[in-house]
């Protein structure tokens, strides 16, 4: 008998105390097996079958005499027999999920007790053609045997037509011609044993199957899943990283094409790998600094303290530069995910409500010839060529004339209107785009026919906004030549007075009246762009593209979420504190008292901690809290 004990055997069995022995067989023996013995097998959660792609694993009762001869290390140890795999393909190992196996004769230890099995409806509730019930956990075999007592064996990742029965009364059929699909750990969506039941989508059928699952006999607990629990298990089993989890959440909630695009960008593992690399650099830098603190008097380092700090500072500055790039990209990604906020501002009766109705294609806001009809803010969300936009119709902005008579109710601004104006200004301050409306009105002087009426404060707010468009309404009142003259006059003296100096600022002319008339089915006149509303829409889309575009090699940065950006900002703050602590060292030039190494190392630790929270990995004390915030947004079946 030959006994081999080496590192290779320990690696195969995943244990520190493992041995391999080759049993000698006679020449007449067919296919002599190689029998491995181990004092401890891989625990639950470790990939015990990672090496089974080349070998088939079977559990055999140990031979007492052979164990006695082998010594105490092999006593009471299971025997693992490996058979040679046929050439030309990989043979799947037998799994307790879909094959009948002999139950172990020994009592399982606390480490071998299986975890809970969860189940949930993975499709939307209600009447449907098909409903999918997802099950994940160690009790998938028992659930299958309880629902399909005569179903027979299943092949992994294959669809099987089965009849589902009540686990307590097998003659009572719950559903017929159901599809049963098993997935074997770790090759499943959660990394565990997974069973999917594709059943008929009638509410009564779905209810009967869901009520029957927990009544199946099982050694482990079977319960209904919590929100996002399937995805949480996939994260724990390294099937998804934190970036992919958050991207999945955005994909499930995507309503527009650009939201879907941003979610796809976040599905790449590149971002999490990059953040993990940054954290590794910071941890290594902190370790070097702490080694300098603890062993500077006893050890000889290849670098002097000044060289060490210089190298670490260069790394920190590079990471800060990259973080700033990611933060800027995250703002563009959030515009795609959360929508672009657009406020309609202008004086009373300029046509804000009419424009909103034309953009959304329905009467979302009340339109009246009476000035000041809109008092409160009216918000409407709209999908414009894949971009989610939220338009806000606000109260008209105006100031009370100082010489107005108290007897003139038109010139007076009441308390309700004042509150509406205040809310309009507040909404403008938080908007991404401001559409500043002016209108062509009859001139008060008899010598002129028409003039452009505008509000100075509206144009000032537009100048302070990230993006703005000036729209002149009621262009149907004057001929084209007169309209051009009025616009030139408006540019020459109105815009400079409101600190708007950009000559390329879009100024568009529209006519909500013409647009409304052409929508009338009895209208005789038809044009390609009634009222120039499409021209305004095209201008908005170009603005959207400028606000959210990134170079081709940076498209993945659109996947940076608000949570990740906030943690990156905290990381940048700690790195800035490190630079503030390290810079005096180089400024003094003597290295004496210029830098507190302990404090600088602590800043690096805090920065690395923030990156650990971004990825959901590493030494972060509140990782569970972070995961809770992420997964609570998922539906139950995910």
Contacts of 582 (CB under 8 A, 6+ apart): 309, 312, 313, 595, 600
Task: Specify the pLDDT at position 619.
Answer: 54
Cα 265 to Cα 231, 615, 631, 638, distances in angstroms: 19, 16, 19, 20
For 231-264, the DSSP string reads: HHHHHHTTSS-HHHHHHHHHHHH--SHHHHHHHH
Task: Specify the pLDDT at position 442.
Answer: 86
Query: What torsion, rounded to 10 degrees, do the Cα atoms 20, 26, 30, 32 define?
Result: 10
Count CA atoms within 13 Å of residue 512 on its CB side: 23
Cβ proximity of 558 and 329 under 8 Å = yes
The pLDDT of 513-522, averaged and rounded, is: 75
pLDDT per position as a tens digit, 122-149: 999 999 999 999 999 999 999 999 999 9
Task: Specify the pLDDT at position 408.
Answer: 55
Contacts of 531 (CB under 8 A, 6+ apart): 358, 476, 510, 511, 512, 513, 514, 515, 516, 518
Task: Specify the pLDDT at position 448.
Answer: 66
Cα 379 to Cα 255, 301, 328, 343, 437, distances in angstroms: 18, 64, 27, 9, 17
Confidence class of residue 258 from pLDDT cuts 50, 70 and 90? very high
Say whether pLDDT at 372 is over 70: no
Confidence class of residue 44 from pLDDT cuts 50, 70 and 90? very low
Say whether pLDDT at 150 is over 60: yes
Cα 444 to Cα 438, 441, 447, 461, distances in angstroms: 16, 9, 9, 26
Say whether pLDDT at 63 is over 70: no
Say whether pLDDT at 611 is over 60: yes
The pLDDT of 587-614, averaged and rounded, is: 79
Q: In Å, how far from its chain's centre is CA 460?
A: 37
Say whether pLDDT at 297 is over 70: no
Confidence class of residue 181 from pLDDT cuts 50, 70 and 90? very high
Say whether pLDDT at 180 is over 70: yes
Say whether pLDDT at 400 is over 80: no
Say whether pLDDT at 566 is over 50: yes
Say which residue, 477 or 634, is predicted with more confidence. Answer: 477
Say which residue, 273 or 504, is predicted with more confidence. Answer: 273
Say whether pLDDT at 193 is over 90: yes
Among 186, 138, 183, residue whose Cα is nearest residue 160: 183
**C-alpha to C-alpha distance for 174 and 168, rounded to whole angstroms:** 12
Say whether pLDDT at 285 is over 80: yes
Say whether pLDDT at 31 is over 60: no
Say whether pLDDT at 621 is over 50: no
pLDDT per position as a tens digit, 194-219: 999 999 999 999 999 999 999 999 88
Task: Specify the pLDDT at position 387.
Answer: 95
The pLDDT of 360-375, averaged and rounded, is: 73
Task: Specify the pLDDT at position 16.
Answer: 34
The pLDDT of 351-362, averaged and rounded, is: 89
Say whether pLDDT at 357 is over 60: yes
Confidence class of residue 310 from pLDDT cuts 50, 70 and 90? confident
Say whether pLDDT at 470 is over 50: yes
Say which residue, 203 or 310, is predicted with more confidence. Answer: 203
Confidence class of residue 427 from pLDDT cuts 50, 70 and 90? very high
pLDDT per position as a tens digit, 85-120: 333 333 344 444 444 333 333 333 333 334 899 999
Beta bridge partners of 140: none
pLDDT per position as a tens digit, 437-448: 999 988 876 666
Say whether pLDDT at 625 is over 80: no
Task: Specify the pLDDT at position 449.
Answer: 83
Task: Specify the pLDDT at position 514.
Answer: 86
Task: Specify the pLDDT at position 18.
Answer: 34
Task: Specify the pLDDT at position 638.
Answer: 62
- What percentage of the chain exceeds 90 in pLDDT? 40
Domains and CATH numbers, the chain: 2-84 (no CATH), 117-225 (3.30.1360.120), 270-336+561-631 (1.20.120.430), 342-400+413-548 (3.40.50.300)
Confidence class of residue 396 from pLDDT cuts 50, 70 and 90? confident
Confidence class of residue 552 from pLDDT cuts 50, 70 and 90? confident
Confidence class of residue 594 from pLDDT cuts 50, 70 and 90? low
Give the E-state strand segments of 443-530 in sequence order. Answer: 450-453, 467-473, 507-509
Task: Specify the pLDDT at position 531.
Answer: 86
**C-alpha to C-alpha distance for 559 and 566, rounded to whole angstroms:** 14
Please give the model's pTM, rounded to 2 decimal places.
0.68
- What percentage of the chain exceeds 70 in pLDDT? 69
Task: Specify the pLDDT at position 298.
Answer: 52
Mean pLDDT of all residues belonging to the chain:
76
Say whether pLDDT at 247 is over 50: yes
Confidence class of residue 288 from pLDDT cuts 50, 70 and 90? confident
Say whether pLDDT at 32 is over 60: no
């Amino acid at each position: 008998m030959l006994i081999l004990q080496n590192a290779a055997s320990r690696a195969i069995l995943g244990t520190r105390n493992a041995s391999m022995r080759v049993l000698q067989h006679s020449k007449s023996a067919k296919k002599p097996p190689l029998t491995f013995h181990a004092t401890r097998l891989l625990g639950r959660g470790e990939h015990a079958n990672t090496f089974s792609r080349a070998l088939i694993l079977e559990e055999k009762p140990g031979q007492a005499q052979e164990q006695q001869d082998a010594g105490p290390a092999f006593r009471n140890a299971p025997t693992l027999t490996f058979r040679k795999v046929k050439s030309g393909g990989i043979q799947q190992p037998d799994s307790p999920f879909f094959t009948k196996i002999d139950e172990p004769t020994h009592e399982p230890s606390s480490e071998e007790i299986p975890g809970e099995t969860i189940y949930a409806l993975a499709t939307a509730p209600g009447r449907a053609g098909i409903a999918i019930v997802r099950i994940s956990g160690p009790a998938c075999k028992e659930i299958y045997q309880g629902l399909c007592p005569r179903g027979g064996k299943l092949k992994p990742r294959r669809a099987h037509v089965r009849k589902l029965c009540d686990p307590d009364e097998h003659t009572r059929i719950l559903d017929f011609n159901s599809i049963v699909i098993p997935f074997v750990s770790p090759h499943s969506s959660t990394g565990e044993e997974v069973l999917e039941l594709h059943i008929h989508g009638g509410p009564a059928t779905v209810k009967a199957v869901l009520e029957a699952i927990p009544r199946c006999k099982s050694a482990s607990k079977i319960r209904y899943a919590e929100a996002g629990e399937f995805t949480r298990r996939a994260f724990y089993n390294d099937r998804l990283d934190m970036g992919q989890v958050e991207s999945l959440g955005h994909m499930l909630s995507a309503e527009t094409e650009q939201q879907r695009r941003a979610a796809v960008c976040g599905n790449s593992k590149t971002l999490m790998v990059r953040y993990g690399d940054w954290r590794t650099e910071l941890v290594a830098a902190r370790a070097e600094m702490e080694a300098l603190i603890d062993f500077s008097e006893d050890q000889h380092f290849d670098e002097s303290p000044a060289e060490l700090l210089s190298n670490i500072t260069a790394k920190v500055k590079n990471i800060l530069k990259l973080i700033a790039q990611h933060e800027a990209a995250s703002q563009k990604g959030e515009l795609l995910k959360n929508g672009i906020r657009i406020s309609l501002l202008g004086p009373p009766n300029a046509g804000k409500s009419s424009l909103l109705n034309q953009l959304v294609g329905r009467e979302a806001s009340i339109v009246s010839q009476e000035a000041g009809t809109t008092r409160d803010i009216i918000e409407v969300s709209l999908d414009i060529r894949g971009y989610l936009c939220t338009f806000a119709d606000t109260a008209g902005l105006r100031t009370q004339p100082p010489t107005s008579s108290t007897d003139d109710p038109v010139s007076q601004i009441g308390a309700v209107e004042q509150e509406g104006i205040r809310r309009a200004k507040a909404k403008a301050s938080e908007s991404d785009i401001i559409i500043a409306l002016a209108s062509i009105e009859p001139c008060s002087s008899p010598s002129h026919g028409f003039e452009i009426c505008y509000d100075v404060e509206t144009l000032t707010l537009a100048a302070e906004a990230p993006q703005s468009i000036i729209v002149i309404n009621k262009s149907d009142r004057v001929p084209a030549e007169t309209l051009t003259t009025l616009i030139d006059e408006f540019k020459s003296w109105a815009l400079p007075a409101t600190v708007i100096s950009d000559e390329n600022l879009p100024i568009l002319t529209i006519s909500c009246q013409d647009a409304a008339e052409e929508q009338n089915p009895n209208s005789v006149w038809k044009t390609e762009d009634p009222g120039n509303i499409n021209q305004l829409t095209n201008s908005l889309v170009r603005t959207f593209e400028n606000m959210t575009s990134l170079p081709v090699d940076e498209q993945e940065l659109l996947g940076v979420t608000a949570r990740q950006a906030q943690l990156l900002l905290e990381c940048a703050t700690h790195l800035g504190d490190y630079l503030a602590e390290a810079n005096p060292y180089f400024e003094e030039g003597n290295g004496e008292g210029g830098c507190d190494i302990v404090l600088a190392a602590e800043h690096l630790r805090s920065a690395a901690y923030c990156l650990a929270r971004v990825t959901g990995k590493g030494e972060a004390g509140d990782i569970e809290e972070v995961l809770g915030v992420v997964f609570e947004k998922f539906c139950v079946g995910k």
